[in-house]
Amino acid sequence: MKMLLERTKESPLDITSISLDRAGILALLSPHAQRFRTLDFTFDYWSNIQKFSEAASGPLPLLRTLGIRAIGAMGPPSLPLFSGAVNLKNLFLHSEGAPFLNHFTFPNLTTFELSTMDEEFPISQLLNFLEASPTLQAVHIRVQAGLLLGDVPPERVIVLPNVEIFSVTRGKPGYRITPHISCPSARRISLVREQDVEAEMPQEIFPAWNTIGPRYTASTFDKIALGITSIGEDLVSFSLSFISPGSATLEFGYKMMMITEDEAEDEDSDELTSELGWKYTKVFEHALKAIRMHPLLSNVKRLHIWDKHRFHNPCQLVNMAMEAMGLFEFVGPLEELVLDIDNLQLFLPLFLILSGLRVSMEQSAFPSIKELIIAEHPKDPFDEACVDAIVSFVRSRHMQGVPFERVVFHMKSPPAGMAERLEPWVGTVDFSEETISADDQDSI
């Protein structure tokens, strides 16, 4: 290593270390501290990280990125850590225990990523750290711990004027943090809850709007996107996004982690499927409730819904369909309704028989909708009953005096005669073989 350091002369150094407790390592590296550009401590003990900081206690003018993945517990450091890194831009801090945020000060930081599993995490430390980093542009916080509000006054709010992306992921909702943080320039604010499918269903999945602070409900938005997707076989993700005309997005998420194959062997398969289906239905209902209760719902002009994961049985489908139909009683006139879902019964229940239940057209509460966009699932093409339901829906809008101006179908092969059946009841019928992209869906 000594020869390598000598050969590099004055070049910036990028250092990655799994462990710094080897004798002589600090003695070799510390004279070159002013050349450090990147420091990445991977699975190292806090005690070693503190020793390294003390050995490199002078100026660190080139250090731009500091990554710490700390293991083991220890008392608070005796001194500030890496205080000479006044030009640090990126801090990635992952700690099994306390992250000791009150021992870091980086006034020129632009990116901050925090992950902690401490039993009790004091919010005051986080707020103080963020407040001392006014140049931050991206903040990602992942907390698997209890939050201590303690000495944080209810009225305290810190302003992060340059933050464009702000996200909080927790095992419990991050909504207790948001009332204390304002990001006036944010393009995306994301609050996500993660939970094992076996865990008890929380009462608060998506927030009551009066609990997250008025700054999150005062902005005008014209689009709502509700998405339900699967990521591999391990995760089901619910995303509820409120999007402003300037493309600023407030997103709430709920992720259900699936159990492993080994764990599944110990579980009754039918019982697990039933439990998952029930939770799926409840999260869906909570998402629709969050939409209905938004104080500025009347401003919405575009509603996008995609659902690519099936857990509902016929009984659950009835409940979900009734909830979905009830949503439209609260929505005003729409420029666009996009349905990219596996089962159109969820949003066309008034024409489909659901386990013996049929809802009449008179019970329909759909608002005026200019453009309807429907995407067919490649593995589940429209059958005759589905086409009949779509035609009936479009015809009913015409008969009620609020016809669609345009209906667009994203599908590979339109059923024979479908366009001809629709044309008397709608201004324009178009077909496209293109799939609706993730950008169009505003997925997480």
Q: What one-letter code names the amino acid at 77?
A: P
Range 293-322 average pLDDT:
78
pLDDT for position 43: 81
Indicate if the pLDDT at residue 67 is higher than 90. Answer: yes
Range 132-140 average pLDDT:
96
Q: What CA–CA distance (Å, rounded) separates 382 from 342?
A: 10
Q: What CA–CA distance (Å, rounded) separates 320 from 322?
A: 5
Residue 109 · residue 88 · CB < 8 Å: yes
Residue 160 · residue 182 · CB < 8 Å: yes
pLDDT for position 362: 45
Q: Of 273-282, 312-321, 430-439, which gets the smallest average pLDDT?
A: 312-321
Indicate if the pLDDT at residue 355 is higher than 50. Answer: no
The CA-to-CA distance between both ends of the chain, in Å, stands at 43
Neighbours of 257 (CB within 10 A): 14
Structure tokens that stand for 182 in this block: 């304002």
Compute CA distances 407 → 55, 315, 346, 369, 394, whole Å: 68, 30, 18, 10, 9
Q: What one-letter code names the amino acid at 143?
A: V
| pLDDT band for position 138 (cuts 50, 70, 90) | very high
Q: Of 78-87, 350-359, 382-391, which gets the smallest average pLDDT?
A: 350-359
* Domain boundaries, given as residue ranges, for the chain: 204-444
Q: What CA–CA distance (Å, rounded) separates 317 from 319?
A: 5
Nearest 5 degrees, angle CA 415-CA 421-CA 425? 135
H or E stretch covering 441: helix 438-441
User: What torsion do the CA atoms of 25, 30, 32, 38 make, to the nearest 10 degrees?
Assistant: 80
pLDDT for position 409: 94
Residue 157 · residue 180 · CB < 8 Å: yes
| pLDDT band for position 2 (cuts 50, 70, 90) | low
pLDDT for position 231: 66
H or E stretch covering 38: strand 36-45
Q: What CA–CA distance (Å, rounded) separates 217 from 300?
A: 13
Name residue, tokens 């000594």: 2
Q: Among residues of the chain, what percentage have pLDDT more than 90? A: 29
| pLDDT band for position 444 (cuts 50, 70, 90) | very low
pLDDT for position 442: 46
Indicate if the pLDDT at residue 66 is higher than 90. Answer: yes
Q: Which of 320, 315, 184, 206 is nearest to 255 (CA)?
A: 206
**How confident is the model over 149-177, as pLDDT tens digits?**
777 888 899 999 999 999 988 766 556 78
Exposed, middle or buried, 137 (CB in 10 Å: 0-12/13-18/19+)? middle
Select the more confidently predicted residue: 45 or 266. Answer: 45
Range 59-63 average pLDDT:
94
Range 204-212 average pLDDT:
75
Name residue, tokens 């099994």: 96
**How confident is the model over 324-353, as pLDDT tens digits?**
878 888 888 999 999 998 777 777 755 444
Indicate if the pLDDT at residue 363 is higher than 80. Answer: no
Q: Which of 249, 185, 204 is nearest to 223 (CA)?
A: 249
Range 225-229 average pLDDT:
88
Residue 250 · residue 257 · CB < 8 Å: no
Structure tokens that stand for 238 in this block: 């619910």
Name residue, tokens 């019964």: 345
Neighbours of 401 (CB within 10 A): 7
Compute CA distances 177 → 99, 106, 183, whole Å: 17, 22, 13
Indicate if the pLDDT at residue 223 is higher than 90. Answer: yes
Q: What is the DSSP letter of 295?
A: T
pLDDT for position 388: 86
pLDDT for position 179: 82
In whole numbers, what is the pLDDT of the chain averaged over residues?
Answer: 81
Compute CA distances 189 → 88, 175, 182, 217, 221, whole Å: 24, 12, 10, 12, 14
Range 395-416 average pLDDT:
91
